Structure 1
Amino acid sequence: MAMVRRSGDDPAPPRPKSGRPRLSARDWADAALAAMREGGLAAVAVEPLATRLGTTKGSFYWHFTGRDALIEAALERWAETETETLITDLEETGPDPELRLRRLFAEAVRSAAEDPLEVALLATADDPRVAAALERVTERRIAYVALQFELAGFPGPEARRRGLLAYSVYLGHTQLGHAVPASLPGGAELDRHLDRALDLLLMR
């Protein structure tokens, strides 16, 4: 968990004389994720991020003890926005687990194809911080997908196997979408392709 310098009970810092709104720890975490999208983990550096945010390093050190704490916060933010928020949205689509699976599969594959962040994280999986975040997120995602298969009527062990297979298909599409995008169909054909993949995964 990111080491944040001050708790919610600490007095607020003085408002900058420029009148600009104070930056939050989340602003810094989002900026760090944007840097990872562009240049991987190595692109997370305090001074360039301060320039990107139009502030000084003082703002950074108000929230974080150092670069490692920022990286931890950014990875937590990634897990929140790319996993937990999506799961919350899916739970509002209704009680049909097959419908949730189809929507999840389509949205996740399209999002990963457009966003290089996940590929950048996978490429730096040898970093212990990234490896730990990937492990947590992967288990959370597979468990959620497996639950949908179980709700669709598959026994627990079989639901887990199908959840793992579905996630493997997702990762394969993610890597292909960035490495060899021409190998994947586009537009409506991609929708049909993904629906067919779910048909196979749901076959009894």
Structure 2
Amino acid sequence: MVRRNRDDWTEMALRALAEGGLGAVAVEPLAARAGATKGSVYHHFPNREALLRATVERWEREHTEKVIELVESERTPQDKLKTLFAMVLDRTRKGSVEMALQAGAADEVIAPVLRRVTEKRIGYLTELFRQLGFGKAQARKRALIAFSLYLGQAQLWTTLPGLAEPVLDEAVQVLTAR
């Protein structure tokens, strides 16, 4: 029998979240799927809430903090924006944890993490648009539009994958136009 650690369980919970939404993050089905006992999950997490919290915090690190870190390796704000869009618009095709979390936004575990992530993402986008020479108010508006585009693309890839088309170049062009 394979011994599972916290990372294994949060990885499985992320996959379950992407495939089946918030309700799919449940101890018994995850354990059964992994060929393990519930005790294996409870060895690492005292309850489902703790597993869910660790899972969404992992999502926050991997899909916000690490993405920003990678984007920051680019030289110019334009390159950063293009790389950011390429990364996040591509990720929306690979199952949508984002949409599952948006759908579960009222959950007491999800809500604070989702708010924190959204504020961080919009703040980062605002700063990129500021670096591109937009004023504070205009940079914030463009950041909100960019984030809305991301959420819309994620929704399309989730619900109508054959309809959604890559819009990277056009999105960057429209958002950076004067």
Are 1:97 and 2:77 counterparts?
yes
Shift of 1:135: 1.0
3-state SS in 2 of match to 1:114: coil
Give the counterpart of 1:175 among 145, 155, 159.
155
Q: CA RMSD in A?
A: 1.7
Deviations 1:4-44 (A, max 9, x none): xxxxxxxxxxxxxx6x4x42222211111111112111111
Equivalent positions of 1:118-137 (< 5 A) are 118-137=98-117
Q: Which residue of 2 aligns with 1:69?
A: 50
Structure 1 portions without partners, runs of 5+:
1-17
Shift of 1:76: 0.3
Q: Which residue of 1 aligns with 2:177?
A: 203
Write the distance in 2 (CA, Å) between the matches of 1:119 and 1:141. 16
TM (normalized to structure 2)?
Answer: 0.91
Equivalent positions of 1:1-204 (< 5 A) are 20=2, 22-92=3-73, 94-185=74-165, 190=166, 193-204=167-178
1:100 corresponds to which letter in structure 2?
Answer: K
Write the distance in 2 (CA, Å) between the matches of 1:34 and 1:200. 34
Shift of 1:47: 2.1
Structure 2 portions without partners, runs of 5+:
none
Number of residues paired by the alignment?
Answer: 178
For the Cα contact (< 8 Å) 2:13–2:55, is it kept in 1?
Answer: yes
